Amino acid sequence: MAEVVYGSEIAADIKAELKKQIEELKENHRRIPKLTVILIGDHAASLSYVKGKERACGEIGMDNELIALPADTSEAELLELIDRLNHDDTVDGILVQLPLPKHINEDHVIYAIAPHKDVDGFHPYNIGRMMMGSPTFLPCTPKGIMEVLKRISLKDLSGKRAVVIGRSNIVGKPIAQLLLAANATVTITHSKTANIKEITKTADLLIVAIGKPRMVDASWIKEGAVVIDVGVNRDENNKLCGDVDFVSAAEKAAYITPVPKGIGPMTIAMLLSNTMDAYREHESE
Ligand code: GUN
């Protein structure tokens, strides 16, 4: 039976540490770090994610502003707002919640955020630095997964086989890069991979970020593997669930992350941590 690894508990430790740092800043009458989140339209899941980010900032005493704009906001208006925030000295981190309405080009928006305020780690500069092994801001979900691995003493993955299911810019591609940097032998699989289970069954570490409710069950998993579930889905009863069939997978895995209370809270904790890093860099200029 697998040990369940609660990202929520690790995230709580990280947030407590950040809260302490912000309290010290307040005691010393210093400026407080600030995250500005932009939400375009009323996409239900995005609204809930954005609320979670606001709540987390509140918990640790970080300054935050939510700029909610209507779905018909033009790309030019959004780019103008980003430009203003790039030049606003009170703002340390800028996050534009994705996905965006179809009339706005996501790449244009990601490119527009100043790399030193890109706490999502999505700008090509930050992605490039990660690829070259001298990272600046790491994307929050992959960074959160690496923190979870550290807590179960899987920091050095020498000799281990890691398999990633999913190839998104937000999770699949960057986590593969971080695992490679940690010495794992990495395979990326996706919806077009042939005989996918034959590959996943070789994994000492399986990262699942495919967006299909409970797709991965015990038959995909090697005995004793570490299984990280990045999925956030609603099942047929509208219940929150991951990409992994938890009950079945837990019988084979050595460690498994649940949904909820797994990787989701780690993503938010890493966003706060990136914002604190942006603040420290900003203050040292
Ligand atoms: N939408 C889903 N995940 C994310 C994320 O990590 N950052 C942003 N900006 N949008 C998202």
Q: How far, in Å, from the CA of 140 to the mean position of ligand 1? A: 9
**Which range (130-134, 155-159, 239-243, 280-284) has the least confidence?**
155-159
Q: Which tens digits make up the pLDDT trace of 75-119? A: 999 999 999 999 999 999 999 999 999 999 999 999 999 999 999
Regarding the beta carbon of 206 and ligand 1, being less than 6 Å apart is answered no
Q: Where are the domains of the chain?
A: 30-114, 140-264
Domain 140-264: CATH superfamily, name plus number: NAD(P)-binding Rossmann-like Domain (3.40.50.720)
Mean pLDDT value across the chain = 97
Which of 3.40.50.1820, 3.40.50.720, 3.40.50.10860, 3.20.20.10 would CATH assign to domain 30-114?
3.40.50.10860
**Residue 24, number of CB atoms within 10 A of its CB:** 10
Structure tokens at 278: 């942006």
**Rounded to an integer, what distance in angstroms lies between the CA atom of residue 262 and that of residue 257?**
5
DSSP secondary structure letter of residue 2: P
Average pLDDT for residues 69-76, to the nearest whole number? 98
For residues 66 and 54, is the Cβ–Cβ distance under 8 A?
A: yes
- Spatial separation of the C-alpha atoms in residues 177 and 149, rounded to whole Å: 15
Q: How many CB atoms lie under 10 A from the CB of residue 285?
A: 6
- Residue 192: phi and psi, rounded to 5, are -100, 5
Other CB atoms within 10 A of residue 79 CB = 17
Query: Is the Cα dihedral 116, 122, 124, 128 positive or negative?
Result: positive
Of all protein residues, the one whose alpha carbon is nearest to atom 2 of ligand 1 is 98
- CA distances (Å), origin 206, targets 22, 93, 162, 164, 245: 36, 31, 6, 6, 13
**Span 182-233, pLDDT tens digits:** 999 999 999 999 999 999 999 999 999 999 999 999 999 999 999 999 999 9
Neighbours of 2 (CB within 10 A): 19
- Closest-CA residue to 126 (of 147, 144, 143): 143
Q: Tell me: pLDDT of 238 over 90.
A: yes
Question: What H or E segment, with its residue span, contains residue 68?
Answer: strand 63-69
Pairing of strands 240-241, 233-234: antiparallel
CA of 151 to the centre of ligand 1 (A): 24
Query: Cβ(38)–Cβ(95) under 8 Å?
Result: yes
Same fold, 30-114 and 140-264: yes
Spatial distance between the Cα atoms of 78 and 9, rounded to a whole number of angstroms? 36
- Select from 43, 95, 233 the residue to mutate for testing ligand 1; criterion: most ligand atoms less than 8 Å from CB: 95
Mean pLDDT on 124-137: 97
Distances 241 to 18, 247, 266 between C-alpha atoms, Å: 29, 11, 16
| Confidence bin at 153 (pLDDT 50/70/90) | confident
Question: In the predicted model, is pLDDT for residue 154 greater than 90?
Answer: no
Number of separate helices (H) and strands (E) present in the chain: 10, 11
Q: Which residues pair with 74 in a beta bridge?
A: none
Q: How far is CA 234 from the centre of its chain?
A: 19
* Ligand 1 neighbour 97 (Cβ under 6 A): yes
Residue 156 has pLDDT above 90, yes or no: no
Q: Show which residues are catalytic.
A: 53, 97, 120
pLDDT band for position 155 (50/70/90)?
confident
- Expressed in angstroms and rounded, the spacing between residue 96 Cα and the centre of ligand 1 is 8
Tell me the pLDDT tens digit for each residue of 5-50: 999 999 999 999 999 999 999 999 999 999 999 999 999 999 999 9
Can you tell me the distance from the alpha carbon of 21 to that of 278, in angstroms, rounded to the nearest whole number? 14
Q: What is the largest CA-CA distance in the chain?
A: 59
